[in-house]
Structure 1
Amino acid sequence: MISEFQTHAEKLGYQSWTAIQKAVYEPLLAGQNVVGIAPTGSGKTVAFTLPLLSRIEPEDDTALIVVEPSAELAMQTEKTIQEWGRLINLTTQGIVGGANMKRQIERLKDHPNIIVGTTGRLMDLINLGKLKLTNVQTIVIDEADNLLSEDTLPAIRELVDKAPEATQLGFFSATENDILKNVNRWFVQDMQTFDVSAIDDTQGNVKHGQLQVSSHKKAQMLLRFLHMKDFKALVFFDQLNTLQKVSGFLIHRHVREAAKLTSEQSQTSRQNALRDFRKGKVRLLLTTDVAARGIDIPKLPAVINFDLPRDAKTYTHRVGRTGRMHEDGLVINMGDDHDLRRLKQMVRDHFDLQNIYFDGNQLSDTKPKMTEKLSAEDESGTSQPETPPATKSPTHKKADKPRGHQLKPRPHHKKNKHSKRKGMHHKRTEK
C-alpha cells in the first residue's frame, strides 16, 4: 500500500483492515475482475477504492467509473473516493440524475480521473458523446445485486460494452442474486468471487426485536420512541403512500424530529434530510428500500421495520444499517402476531428474533405486569390518566337535567276590552 494511504488510515484510527479489504486488495491491484460479497457496513467502498486509485496517475484521463443505484449513494461514495484521491492528486466528479447536466458537461472538460454516478445519467452523457470511455481502466458496479436486476442489467451491460474490451470489472454487494451468482454468463470478463460473509467480524452486537402492535397503532407507537433518550432510527416502509400518511400524522402533531427520505423528493430535500439525520436534529427518518439503499449513517442506534420486509434479502439490507464497525445496534420489527411469526420463520436461519415490550418509556425484554394501552387520546406517546366513568345516582333513575339560568315565565295578561278612559261615559254631542 502506498505510504499516503497508510498514513491517512492511521490518522482515521484504522487498527486493522476488514476481511473484504484484505481479500480483494491484491487481486484488484493486479487488474483482476472481482466479485466481492461482504456484509453491509464492512468497508466495501474503501476495499475497492485504495487498490484501484493506486493504479491511476494524475495525468490519466477518466480511468475509473463507479456506478451506484441512487444519487445519495453516489454522492456518499464520491465523498469517500475524493477523500483518498486528494492524497495522491487525483480528481473525482459525481454524475447523477436530477443535477444540472450542463454543469456536469462543463466539469467533464477538466478530465476527472474518477467518475461516480448513476446509470441513467452516465448513459445519457455517453450517448451524447460528452463522456468518453476510451481510457477507462476499471468499472465498479456497487450494490451489484440491485443493479444486476432484470430492469437495470441491460443498461449496465451496455455501459460495459462501450468501454474497452480489456476493462477491469468489480462487482460489490452485501447479498447475491441469481444474476450475480452467474455473472460470467452476462459479461465476457472472467470473474473471481470473494465472499467473506462467514468470516467478517465488523458487525457489532445487534439485537433483533419483535414488538407486537396492530397496524392502526404503529404511527402512534413511533411517538413513544421519541421519548427514549438518544434514540434515533431509520424507519422502513414498503409503500410510499403509507410513508406519506405517517409523515402527515407526525406533522399534524407538530413532531419536528421526524423527516422523510424518498425517491420523489428533490435532490436538495433528500440531502437536507440526511444531513439533519446525521447531525441528530432529525431522530426518525422515514424511508423506503430504494431511497435508503447503501446509505451509511455512522453509529446508527436502531432500525425500525414499520412495514415488515417481504423477503430475507430485504431484511438483511435493512438491518445492515445499524451495528456497523463493531457498534451495537437494535432492530425493531412492528407487526401483529401473525406477521411476526411469518417474519421469524423467514429469517430464522440468519437472525434470532426476540420479543420486546414497552415498559414506561423504555423497551424491555420482560413483559410488564400491567400491559399499557396506547389510547387514541394518548397521541403524544405519554401516559394519560383515565377519566373514571360517571356513576348513576342511586335515588334517581334518570340523570338530573343540567341547571342553567332559568327565566321566569311572563305573567299572562288578559287584554283589556275597555279604552284607557275606563268607566267614563262619553256623550255624543249632536251638532
Structure 2
Amino acid sequence: MIDIFEQHFKERGFKEPTAIQTAVYDALADNKTVLGIAPTGSGKTIAFTLPILPKVKGQQGTQVLVLSPSQELAVQTTKVMREWAQLLNLKVMSLTGGANMRRQIDKLKTHPEILIGTPGRVLHLLQTKHLKLNTLQTLIIDEADDMLQDDTLAVIEDIERATPITTQLGFFSATKTEALDGLSYMFGRDVVEYDVRNEDHSQGIVRHGQMQISGKQRGEMLRRFSHIKDFRALVFFNQTKTLTHVASQLKHDHVSAAVLGGQQRQTEREKALRMFRNRQLKFLLTTDVAARGLDIVKLPAVINFDLPTQAVTYVHRVGRTGRQGEPGLVINFGDDHDLRDLKKLLADESYELKPIYFAHNQLVDERPQKEEKQTTGHVENVQEKAHRVVRKSQLSDEHITVGKSVSRTIDVAKDQPTKAKRHKKNRHIKNKGMRLKRRHQAEEEQ
C-alpha cells in the first residue's frame, strides 16, 4: 500500500486489511488476472481499489473500468473509489442506466481516468462512439458469479473485446459458481484464484431464524414488526407483483417503507436508499437484482418475505446484515413445507436455522404461551352490544331483555296492559245481519 493510502486507511479507522485485501494486492499490482472470492461485507471494493489506482496516470484517458450488476452498486462503488482517487487527483465517473445519458456524454468529454458502470449503458456508449476504451489498463467485473451468465455475459464479452489485448482483468464474487470455473476458457487468460471464505473473519455474528407463517399473514406480520424499537429490515421478494402489493398494504397501514426496484427511475431509487440508510424508514422492499452488493451500515435485519430458490441467492441476501463485525438477524418467512425446502437447500452451508416468534412487540426465541380465554370479559362485551340493539319492528316503549347472552325475546314495558285483546274479526258482518233481521220483523208487523 502506498504511503498516502496507508495514512488514509488509518484515518478511516481501519486497523488492518481484510483477508481478501491482503490476498489480491500483489497480484493486481503486478497486472495479473485475478479471481477474488470472499464473503459479503469483507471489503472487496477496497481490495481492488488500493492496488490498481497507483498505476493510473492522470490526464491520459480512461484506464480503469468497473462493471456492476445494478445502478445502486455502481453508485456505491463510485463513492468508494472516488474517496481514494481524489488523493491522487484522479477523476471518477459513473455510467449507469436510468441516469441522464446526455449529461454522461458531456462528462465523458473530460476524459475521466476511472469509470464505474452497468454493462448495458457502457455497451450502448461504446456502440454510439461516445466512449472509447483504447487506453484501458484494468477491467474489473464485480459480482462476477451473477454477471457472467445469460445475456449479461454476452454484453461483457462485447465490452472486453473493445479493450486492448493487454488489459488486466479482475473478477470478484462472494460465491463460487460453475461460470467462474471457466474464466480461463471464456477470456483466454491465465487466472490466479484467491478464495479466502474460510479465512475471513470480518463478518459479525448473524442469527438465522425461521418464522412459520402463511403467505396471507406475512404483510400483517411486517406491520407488527414496525412496532419493534430500533428495528429496520431489508425485505426480499421473488416477484415484483407481491412486492408492489405489500408496499401498498404497508402504506395503507401508515408504516414507513419504500421500494427499491428495477422499474424505478434512478432518482427514486437513490432517494429510497438514502432514506433507509438515514434510518427514516422501517423497511426497504426489494428484489435480488436491485439489492445485489449493497452496503448498508449497521443494518439490523434481513427478511426473506419470499424464500430464495438457490443457495447462492440466500448467501447474497443475508450478506447485507452482519457486515464489518456488526451483529445481524435473518428472518425467513414460510409455511412448514417452505421451511423444510429451505433447510434442504442450505444443507451444504453452515447456517443454523432456529424458530423465531413475535410476542409483546418483540422477537423471541421461545414459543409464547397461549393466553386463557377471558369468558367474563366476553359476556360483558356481549351485554354492552345488547344494550345498543334496537328492534325496528317494535314500538318505542318496548325494550330488549339483557341476559347472559344476546336474546331476541321481546319484553313488554311494565306500564303496558297485559290483558289479551278481544278478537274483532267479522264484527261488522254480525251487526249487518241484526239490522236486516229487525227490518224484516217491522215489515211483517205492517
Is the aligned partner of 1:114 residue 2:123?
no
Structure 1: distance between partners of 2:269 and 2:277: 12
Please name the residue that 1:336 is paired with. Answer: 335
Give the deviation of 1:213 after TM superposition: 1.1
Contact 1:308 1:333 in 2 (8 A): yes
Contact 2:235 2:285 in 1 (8 A): yes
- Consecutive unaligned residues of structure 1, counting only runs of 5 or more, are 374-384, 405-413, 415-431
Please name the residue that 2:281 is paired with. Answer: 282
What SS class does the counterpart of residue 40 from structure 1 fall into? coil
Structure 2: distance between partners of 1:153 and 1:316: 22
Find the partner of 1:400 among 394, 401, 409: 409
1:105-140 alpha-carbon deviations (Å, 9 max, x no partner)? 111111100000011110111111111111100000
Q: Between Structure 1 and Structure 2, whose CA radius of gyration is higher?
A: 2
| Letter of the structure 2 residue corresponding to residue 184 of structure 1 | S
Q: Choose 12-21 or 349-358, whichever is displaced more.
A: 349-358
What SS class does the counterpart of residue 408 from structure 2 fall into? coil
Give the deviation of 1:214 after TM superposition: 1.2
Change (3 A) 1:355 1:107: same
What SS class does the counterpart of residue 291 from structure 1 fall into? helix
Please name the residue that 1:390 is paired with. Answer: 382
Please name the residue that 2:260 is paired with. Answer: 261
Contact 1:259 1:284 in 2 (8 A): yes
Structure 2: distance between partners of 1:401 and 1:277: 60
Please name the residue that 2:424 is paired with. Answer: none
What SS class does the counterpart of residue 200 from structure 1 fall into? coil
Contact 1:393 1:399 in 2 (8 A): no
Is the aligned partner of 1:325 residue 2:334?
no
Q: Choose 21-30 or 151-160, whichever is displaced more.
A: 151-160
What SS class does the counterpart of residue 186 from structure 1 fall into? helix
Give the deviation of 1:19 after TM superposition: 0.5
Structure 2: distance between partners of 1:108 and 1:372: 70
Please name the residue that 1:300 is paired with. Answer: 299
Matches within 5 A, 1:36-47: 36-47=36-47
| Letter of the structure 1 residue corresponding to residue 382 of structure 2 | A
Instruction: Give the paired residue count.
Output: 393
Report which of the two has the higher share of helix. Answer: 2
Please name the residue that 2:83 is paired with. Answer: 83
- Consecutive unaligned residues of structure 2, counting only runs of 5 or more, are 384-400, 414-427, 429-446
Structure 2: distance between partners of 1:133 and 1:230: 47
Matches within 5 A, 1:214-253: 214-253=214-253
Runs of 4+ in 1 over 3 A off after TM superposition: 385-398, 400-404
Give the deviation of 1:346 after TM superposition: 1.4
Give the deviation of 1:400 after TM superposition: 3.4
Contact 2:382 2:405 in 1 (8 A): no
Change (3 A) 1:258 1:135: same
Change (3 A) 1:113 1:364: same
Contact 2:379 2:405 in 1 (8 A): no
Please name the residue that 2:19 is paired with. Answer: 19
Give the deviation of 1:59 after TM superposition: 2.8
| Letter of the structure 2 residue corresponding to residue 187 of structure 1 | F
Structure 1: distance between partners of 2:37 and 2:381: 61
Structure 1: distance between partners of 2:302 and 2:372: 23
Change (3 A) 1:403 1:87: farther
Please name the residue that 2:308 is paired with. Answer: 309
Matches within 5 A, 1:357-372: 357-370=357-370
| Letter of the structure 2 residue corresponding to residue 390 of structure 1 | V
Is the aligned partner of 1:349 residue 2:348?
yes
| Letter of the structure 2 residue corresponding to residue 399 of structure 1 | R
Q: Please, what is the CA RMSD of the aligned residues? A: 2.2
